[in-house]
Structure 1
Amino acid sequence: MSVSPESLRLQMRGISKRYPGCLANDRIDLNIQPGEIHALLGENGAGKSTLMKIIYGVTQPDSGEIVWRGKPVKMRDPAMARSLGIGMVFQHFSLFETLTVAENIALAMGRAAGTPKQLEGRIREVSQRYGMALEPERLVHSLSIGERQRVEIVRCLMQDIELLILDEPTSVLTPQEADELFATLRRLAAEGCSILFISHKLGEVRALCHGATVLRGGKVSGHCVPRDCSDLELARLMVGDAEGLESTYAKVQGGEHFLQVNDLSWENADPFGTSLRTISLEVRSGEIVGIAGVAGNGQDELLAMLSGEQLLHKRDAASIRFAGAPVANLRPDARRKLGLAFVPAERLGHGAVPDMSLSDNALLTAFQQGLVSNGLIKRDKVVAFAEEIIRRFAVKTPDAETPAGSLSGGNLQKFILGREIMQKPKLLVAAHPTWGVDVGAAAAIHRALIALRDAGAAILVISEDLDELFQICDRIGALSSGKLSALTDTPSTCQVEVGRWMAGEFGANPSPIDQAAANPAPLS
């Protein structure tokens, strides 16, 4: 059904944006109606982020036209976008943790809106109206991740919003919090607010969105009604070749224990960090164990303990063991000699140095793989090693000398994971292995993890993506406030139950109806 331009809330005509060596947006058209929840889909590097920034005034297009409520506009900056009624909640929140909810909202709205004290009543009114209750006096650092997202959304709603842009809004939420968010979005849409929804979770898109625009390689590859499509059909629109995207993996029983953590407790001196409380777990050779949890519940602290970035006293060395050997007081290089490989949560700056080439980044953790002799770097072997990672893991890059920071998120993640897997580890600890990557890259990463498992490695995956954990993990548990639930065989539980563990309800059990409804179906 055709829609007249005058009735559209937002219309983008022929938007193009070029960066050096890259045509990010190529004559893109996008239409959003009042009260519509519209999905913007595409693999990493498809041009979604650039298009969002153009709508919000962060970036200026090279050509094309933006039409807002029937009138052409030049979106000079975010302040202008906000004045027109456009709000955006970025994937990474922009809140000051040491300030209150009211102080954060007052900063965003400017002096004309009033003091934080004057805004408190309106914050309560707006947040309760949309089922996102907030206490204005609370300090942001005391809020859960889901509550912090509420602050960002309420901050937009208090500015008479007409278009709300959400970038991967459920990546840090429990299933219950995601359901609450969707209820809020449906209510906003019913009141006439338009919503542009960006997500790699195709099941969410199908359940929530009225329409979708799909980008591939900077161009519009198609439009669809998500609820009329399967996940696989959406994936094909996004990546073209959908081979392997519908994979399901058999669950297995591991062999001998390789990683053992026994009653690990640690007091975090950081007031914004999380202390660990009597954590015990084991990972066997030839299995994948998944740990779910909302960010900020001890994942970073546990990862630092396992990688060796945070050392314990020698008397506590036995609280972490690799193949029976105490390691909690060993540095990262010593743990790597015992078979550890590590994929950190942060790709740039932690997993890779942005300004360094891929070959130099390969050397950073793989120097023990015959790439250095008597203190001298074997340059030809380093380059060959990096090129083999690029080939085996289908990393899209001009060559091994390309700076890591120039790669898309999905391609850099494949390179980092490939670097670790090619060292043939006995234990791989991977944090958020597919966070923010497209469906094609995620499928490739999952296949690589399963292959490593089947080769006999012990693998621990820490992730906020329950669909991912249920797809690839043989056993699963959850972290909440520094405490770890018991590990359970994945087929014996469901997303509802794990969601309760993520909220700290370790004793809660789902009903058989909940379990049947909540277990994720494979792509079809």
Structure 2
Amino acid sequence: MEGLTKAYPGVVANDDVSFEIAPGQVHALLGENGAGKSTLVKMIYGLVKPNSGTMTLRGQPFEPPEPRAARADGVAMVFQHFSLFDALSVAENIALGMENPPPMAELAQRISDVSTEYGLPLSPDMTVGDLSAGERQRVEIIRCLLQNPKLLIMDEPTSVLTPQEVQILFATLRQLSAEGTAILYISHKLEEIRSLCDQATVLRLGKVVGRCDPRQKSAAELAEMMVGSELRPPSRTPAEPGAPKLQVTNLSLPAPSAFGTALRDISFTVHAGEVLGIGGVAGNGQDELLSALSGEAATSGATVRLNGQPISTLGPNARRALAVLAAPEERLGHAAAPNMSLIENALLTGATRQNLTRNGFIDWAATRRFAEQIITRFDVRTPGPGNAARALSGGNLQKFVIGREVLQTPEVLVVNQPTWGVDASAAAAIRQSLLDLAHNGAALVVISQDLDELMEISDRFAALNEGRLSAPRPAQGLSIEEIGLMMGGAHGMEVAHHGTA
């Protein structure tokens, strides 16, 4: 890449970006949210056309007008958000991503052969809706590998994987690298970058600000290169938990869809000033639990109580009025309406608690001020509050969604994947804002697949497995082995008595 520049109204996404990747090299692309990483890889993959600059691939001029052309030239990409159909089989999904798929029996055999060769076991007949997040990612990777790519682009590939699945993925990538495939790797998990990548290019505000061998740098040094300043870890002031705030007793819910997870007899209590961390592999009931706590999914009787009062039958707006707020995992479509502006998205959950309506009319001036407050306090990189949610990078939209709920001073906040896809600096700021809420007396339920995150901010830890919750245990002193066993469902007899500490 030589001098690649791409500008949009109000923002230069990439400004004179140049670097090269050698065959067999695992090259990290680092940068804060909004630094221009996604735009750059979209140009390589033919999704976006640069305003200026040139690319060459194996010595030949490279200007893909569309992804099909990039794939034909040997460029493959595994996106952060999977593009798979739940109701179709693995083989059918892979066939949809191929220009000229072979007969299904032949394709199934090739899938089996490639998955075995690269240590990614996968049955071509399995229905995708029945697969774990890690297995879904294998479908995407094998779809790419069947093209024999010369350059493989991976965008946040480990954000939904267990530690064991990460090791399997890394073994596959090292094998591909040894065979001469160049890999461009985007991740905010800096320890992963250090263990996997042999070269790194750092972007800041669309420009290349540094190059290094990440194996020679600490994670803190890499983070500082990205943000241009020293990174401070979140700090917390230990305090005795207060009175019980949120009580959940014997919560069971049927699966919301054929591919959802039923919740089974879940019980826990969260006290004022406490953070309960809930871990688990994706697809074990995280979304369903958030829906039950936010009021999106109706529950019966007195299964959910706030300050001792039953709130099970209340919907989301009634719970918001009582200061029970939530931030779901799927930011584009669930937490935010893609085509609405940030002002309108601020209104969607803030109307009640921020008094953004009067006598049935929307107070647009107050709503704009609230949106601007979120943007300023949470450093959301956007030309302005009038921008559509879909125009933001994933990490910046995440900052907006979390900020919108935090600034409403909840008594109870339930968040799923609070720092998914955000850079080290923004993740530290989000975690600090959650700890500050708890310090001021809120009760927090933080659902996350990032175990480091949960250990950093949680007072107690529990694990979701197939819709069941292990008994919460003090987070301090828990080993990775114990956490892994809890996530795998080895809860022992503790599940029976649902400790609420």
Pair 1:39-2:28 in alignment: yes
Change in Cα spacing, 1:89 to 1:383, as seen in structure 2 (3 Å) is: closer
- Which of 363, 366, 372 does residue 357 from structure 2 map onto? 372
- Structure 2 Cα separation of the partners of residues 104 and 382 of structure 1: 43
> Counterparts of 1:107-506 in structure 2 under 5 Å?
107-111=96-100, 113-244=101-232, 246-249=233-236, 252-312=239-299, 316-368=300-352, 369-506=354-491
Counterpart of 2:498? Answer: none
- Which of 10, 14, 25 does residue 25 from structure 1 map onto? 14
- Structure 1 Cα separation of the partners of residues 377 and 388 of structure 2: 19
**AA in 2 matched with 1:287:** E
Counterpart of 1:517? Answer: none
- Structure 2 Cα separation of the partners of residues 376 and 119 of structure 1: 58
Kindly report structure 1 stretches of 4+ aligned residues shifted beyond 6 Å: none
Change in Cα spacing, 1:260 to 1:105, as seen in structure 2 (3 Å) is: same
- Structure 1 Cα separation of the partners of residues 149 and 373 of structure 2: 50
SS of the residue 2:110 aligns to: helix
- Structure 1 Cα separation of the partners of residues 256 and 445 of structure 2: 26
Change in Cα spacing, 1:40 to 1:507, as seen in structure 2 (3 Å) is: farther
Q: Which shifted more, 166-175 or 154-163? A: 154-163
User: If the length of structure 1 is used for normalisation, what is the TM-score?
Assistant: 0.89
User: If the length of structure 2 is used for normalisation, what is the TM-score?
Assistant: 0.93
Change in Cα spacing, 1:64 to 1:249, as seen in structure 2 (3 Å) is: same
Counterpart of 1:522? Answer: none
Cα deviation per residue 1:68-109 (whole Å; 9 max; x = unaligned)?
112222223222222222211111112222222222222323
Cα deviation per residue 1:418-468 (whole Å; 9 max; x = unaligned)?
332222211011121111112221111111111111001001111122221
SS of the residue 2:435 aligns to: helix
Whether contact under 8 Å (1:106, 1:115) holds in the other structure is no
Matched residue count:
493
- Structure 2 Cα separation of the partners of residues 445 and 22 of structure 1: 24
Q: Which shifted more, 296-305 or 397-406? A: 397-406
Identity in percent: 54
CA drift of 1:34 comes to 1.4
Q: Which shifted more, 268-277 or 208-217? A: 268-277
Whether contact under 8 Å (2:34, 2:396) holds in the other structure is no
**AA in 1 matched with 2:304:** I
Change in Cα spacing, 1:506 to 1:252, as seen in structure 2 (3 Å) is: farther
CA drift of 1:174 comes to 0.6
Cα deviation per residue 1:109-157 (whole Å; 9 max; x = unaligned)?
343x411211222222211111111111111112111111111111211
Cα deviation per residue 1:196-249 (whole Å; 9 max; x = unaligned)?
1110001110111111111111111110111111111111111112342x3454
**AA in 1 matched with 2:30:** L
- Structure 2 Cα separation of the partners of residues 427 and 310 of structure 1: 17
Cα deviation per residue 1:466-508 (whole Å; 9 max; x = unaligned)?
2211211111122121111221211221334323333333349
Counterpart of 1:516? Answer: none
